[in-house]
Chain A
Amino acid sequence: MSARRRVAAGLLAAGLALGGLATAGLPAFYESFLYIIFSWIALATSWSLLSGYAGYFSFGHGAFFGAGMYTTATLTTALGLPFLATLPVAGVVAAALGAGIGAVVFRVKRLRGELFGLLTLAVGFVLATIVLNTRIDGGPGVYLSAVPLPRLLSSPTGTLYLLGLALALATVAAAYVIAHSRLGLGLYAIHDDEDVAELEGVPTLSYKLIAFALSAGIAGVAGGIHAMYVSYVTVGETFSITVPLYVVLMSVLGGARHWLGPAVGATIIAASLYTFTGGQQAVLGRAAVAFVLILVILLLPEGVVPAALARWRRWRPHPLEIFTTAASTPAPAAPAVALTCENVWRAFGGIQALRGVSLSVEPGEIVGLVGPNGSGKTTLINVISGYYAADRGRVVLGAEVLTDRPAHEIAGLGVSRTHQIPRPFAHFTALDNVALAATFGATRLTPGQARAEARDWLEFTGLGRRAAALPHELNLHERKFLELARALAGRPRVILLDEVLSGLNPAEIAGAVRLIQEIRGRGVAVLFVEHLMRAVLELCDRVVVLNEGTVIATGSPHEAMRAERVVEVYLGKAHVVA
């Protein structure tokens, strides 16, 4: 049975068992106890879709939950709509709120990390103030006790129980499907390094918006159901800090990156909290729960579910996969074309990094880009790959103008790059790092095909045996080659190599030089930034020398390296030229 079927069967079995339990006539106390757990499962799991997967820690989940509560409260009491009909509306209102906030916030690069958390926290306060001071609430709160509750089961609590169960199961199923889809892969990549994800072809803005809208929408539906459960909705209770803090705690405890983690965390915390609700032992009991939580988070920082899975795998190790595929080396995904930069300018504050750079790289050609540190080489690569916009001038690939396109589109057109200091996705194995590029690069493969192809690229770069290793387990030499494998996996038409050889010793360099020659042999256009003159002379058909953002020499390597100006500003002495 495939993993996907096993999960589907598991969720279905849980649904039937828990649903059957209610029809068999569970005491009302247990129905509402379990409903609370389901509600927390839906909330924590939905929170993790954006905050766990993509790493955008939100403290605003209470706002979407509250938006859903007040939508249902208002529609049922003021407009007399039937309760069930208000639930989709609650979801849509909350999702629109989330998407609206995201559409503004996600465009500002600075608003990552703590700032995003603070901003979402503020959303809850703003919403509470609006609700409190308008006719939505107005101060005294909204009573829903007169709203008719459809009887799905004999008791009213039974109905809420079933609705909560359905929402929790649907949310967990959605979390599973997303985690194993293209969307999930992109979100995980955003978590590890958003800039690199965009450069590898992940449409980061739209992915974050989808995740945010979905996450907020589910919280809205949960809020709608909960309005009926509490039947008296007040601003103070609804927008308290409880929901935003608990969902974080639950997800982190269970493992926010894993689809099942938040559900497990929610069950543990909700169950232990509501076990101690009354009497003298309540305070002591909660203190004990808090103490245990601190211990668990200290000992299992990745969360309960990932830790348990790691232990399980150690007991039952997977058989080692032996790669039998010959390292086939596919050609670029699209016909070869030339890359041209025309009069490219770019400034940072007062510093003019590029002053009208023009150059071109033909298919199957290696053009060396050399020059002193700070002369603008990396800036040019950043402009070509779309990480920076050009102030003036344009970059053209065949018939397509690349200037002003987002970086993920440029990657999709067949431009890939490496980073001077390797930037692998830290939580992805070597194989998955490469597979991500094959999923989002010019090839647009499905995640399954991409993994198969990623193996070939790992073999090609000599990393076949390290496929299962995480980046921190690789040494610099291997991380450099992982960069190269990842750049190749999108089957680019143009590849921008930013100092791939630095930090390698002469013998390792010889191996890398042979690889680059093979890449060129496949009709790829190569722009090669490097300080290592021996490799530049050996590999490059032409050389472009930059100094202070201007091209000061071009020509065959030997010509360019002999130019007086180049020797003066860059080489120091002419000893390099053989």
Chain B
Amino acid sequence: MLEVRHLAIAYGGAPAVWDATLEVGEREVVSVIGPNGSGKSTLVNTIAGLLRAHSGELRFDGVDLGAVPSHLVCRQGIALVPEGRRLFMRMSVEENLEMGCYRGEARRARTTTLERVYRLFPILRERRRQLAGSLSGGQQQMVAIGRALMALPRLLLLDEPSLGLAPAVVDQMFEIIRAINGEGVAILLVEQNVVRALEIAARAYVLEEGRTVADGPPAILRQQSRIREAYLGLRDGGDVNP
């Protein structure tokens, strides 16, 4: 469904991604891990159309995304939940959600989609008149995911969804991601919580200094001692436990 080949992206004058290659299939959960500053956020922002690649291939269902204007990328069926949530803090929960289906088909379907979002996040229905800025961190993250779902994506890009959340809420967040995937939405997940990111994914990619340096099923990546040391913080023989 999503094909990224040898993508290079410059950000703020300096190249942030040199050579990224990855694929996401229909209904698949794929994680991207890597140290801070390795270009993970730049990569998902580019897939979402916020940044432009300067070389390489970026295709979604065979359509070259480089030729699609950024505000129309979401109509192709891709939605981004940005790092740090980026809600409209002075709008209500429901207004935030409606900003997710600003136009087109998604707008016509908004009553049904809103119902689906409230079914996934019952607490948001209770708080729908409340200002987004007054919610707790976990609830804000739910609004951010809900807003992305309002665009009826077939591929959801999640950038650090567990950032700053309490342990119980992190658990909940990963259950939600699984539930969304269960409804047929493919997921591309960028996450510093490497243990969780590997747990949920069918496949994972390792991005270092802007290059894809390893990929494969989590079970195999977890065996590689370099990844155990650099990302899981384990010496060999240690236990993988969150």
Contact = CB atoms under 8 A, between A and B. Distances in A.
Interface stretch (A74-82, A291-299, A472-480): A472-480
B233 A507 contact: yes
B225 to A, nearest CB: 13
Contact count band on B: 20 to 34
A505 B35 contact: yes
B166 A373 contact: yes
A542 interface: no
A372 B166 contact: yes
Contact of B36 (A351, A475, A570, A576): A475
A509 B233 contact: yes
B36 A531 contact: no
A531 B173 CA distance: 14
B172 A572 contact: yes
Contacts of B195: 506
Interface string B30-42: 0001011100000
Given A505-B192, A506-B195, A506-B231, A372 B36 contact: no
A398 interface: no
B84 A505 contact: no
B164 A420 contact: yes
A571 B37 contact: no
B194 A373 contact: no
A286 B209 CA distance: 52
B158 to A, nearest CB: 14
A506 B232 contact: yes
A348 to B, nearest CB: 9
A578 interface: yes
A533 to B, nearest CB: 6
Which of A372, A374, A506, A578 has the most chain B CB atoms inside 10 A of its CB?
A506
Interface in B145-186: 160, 163-172
Contacts of B163: 502-503
Given A421-B84, A472-B12, A534-B242, A477 B36 contact: yes
A504 B192 contact: yes
A476 B34 CA distance: 13
Nearest to B35: A505
Contacts of A572: 167-168, 171-172
A506 B194 contact: yes
Interface in A489-505: 499, 502-505
A505 B166 contact: no
Contacts of A575: 242
Interface string B219-242: 000000000011111100000011
Interface of B: 12, 33, 35-37, 84, 134-139, 160, 163-172, 192, 194-195, 229-234, 241-242
7 contacts: A373-B164, A373-B169, A374-B136, A507-B232, A531-B167, A570-B166, A572-B171
